[in-house]
Amino acid sequence: MTHHTRTMSLLSFLLLVTLVVAACNSDSPPAAEEQTDQSADQAVDQPTDIPVSELDSVPPVDLRPTEDLSADVEPTEAVVEEEPPPAADLSAVKEYVVANAVAMKRASEAYAAAAQSYFEIVQDADFDYEAAWNDQQDVLGPLLIQSKQHWLDASLYYELNEGIISGVPSLAVYDTLLDAGVSREDDTEAAFEWELVLPDGEVLNSPGNIFHTITEPTLYGTVDEYVGFSVDLDGNGEIEPGEVLPEANIFLGGAQGLDGATAELNRTLEEWEPTIEEVFTALVTALPTMEEYFAEWQQSTYVAGPSSDERSFVAVSRLLNVINVLNGLDATYASVSLVVIEEDVSLDEQITADFEDLLAYVDEFYQQEQDGTVFEAAEAEQLGDEVQERATVLADQIAEAAALLNIDVSQ
């Protein structure tokens, strides 16, 4: 008897037995087996208080054969339908950026309101800044100190989003407008084309980015034409760097520009539906830019001292900016960590550990700076090289994870 004939005979016999048993028990058909799904909750560690999202993963169902086939019959392979890998919780990315953008908008509104109050006081003094100060210094001093805090809050909340916004092509224009664009005065060819209309009707063509070439120099007096009058804002008997009455038109116009751009960013982020390609692209694009931050830190007053002619990055150390950007990128990676785990657990562990180590490394030097350490230019350059190298390794690891997932991160 051939193998095929033996198989067919046995299967015919089994079918007959099955029909007989079914006829005998027709009053009580067998109950269908119930399967339950298991879910795993993945908490996203985020630097802002936003809702914690859940990521569900379903393990493969056990479809092993339950029949004890005869030894002389070759068993057929059971067809196992593989469960799809758990999807990245991209809603967590959107929640994260929207929460930071909303907080940024609160700060920009407060900043614009303070600038409006300041403008009205100076206007009542016919834009005589010395007279306005002599008459209203009890109001103007606290008002400008509060303005700096509102500006700083808006800037720091933006930096938590900066890595994502700058790295996603459809959002990157906001990074150019708010944080990175150069002015026509600095670079005619590379200047970002836009206009800022001031309250007196003057139009500034391609004046650079709003945070660091307009509003920060205005508040801290690093551009002469943005200064109305130098004063002792905190009342300690000395006029220190950054203690100025801003020129009212650029102060109010810049504040309104910041608030308007922030409102537009919020509307865009509300409509944005992130894709996994955009998330991975943002990570591998933003991480290798650390050397730019450290070059700016090296040129700022925090390293170069009072002799620095840098007009920007005077409000806060660029090291804190780096920490905030890295925190944002770390939170972004957390949203896709689960899908990387499905492909390569050890790679995910390495990426997660390297993010933690890099943040701790930069924070160590920032705390030293806060405690009074002034780094030499050579030290700042060496630190920047080390951070850049680590960040590049991280970007390469994330690119490797994207390749395993067949995700295109090309620009």
Q: What is the pLDDT of residues 150-203, one digit of tens each?
A: 999 999 999 999 999 999 999 999 999 999 999 999 999 999 999 999 999 999
Distance CA 265, CA 83 (A): 38
Q: What does the pLDDT average to over 108-123?
A: 98
The tokens describing 117, both together, are 């109050």
Phi and psi for 245 in degrees, rounded to 5?
Answer: -95, 115
For residue 233, what are its two tokens?
């804002």
Structure-token match 């100060």, residue found: 133
Residues 6+ apart with CB under 8 A from 108: 150, 154, 255, 258, 259, 262, 263
pLDDT value at residue 69: 35
- What is the average pLDDT across 239-245? 94
What percent of the chain lies above the pLDDT cut of 90? Answer: 75
pLDDT in tens, 126-153: 999 999 999 999 999 999 999 999 999 9
pLDDT at 89: 80
Q: Does the pLDDT at position 375 exceed 50?
A: yes
Element (H, E) at 196: strand 195-197
CB atoms within 10 A of CB 383: 18
Burial-class residue 209 by CB neighbours within 10 Å (0-12, 13-18, 19+): buried
DSSP code string of 345-409: HHHHHHHHHHHHHHHHHHHHHHHHHHTT----HHHHHHHHHHHHHHHHHHHHHHHHHHHHTT---
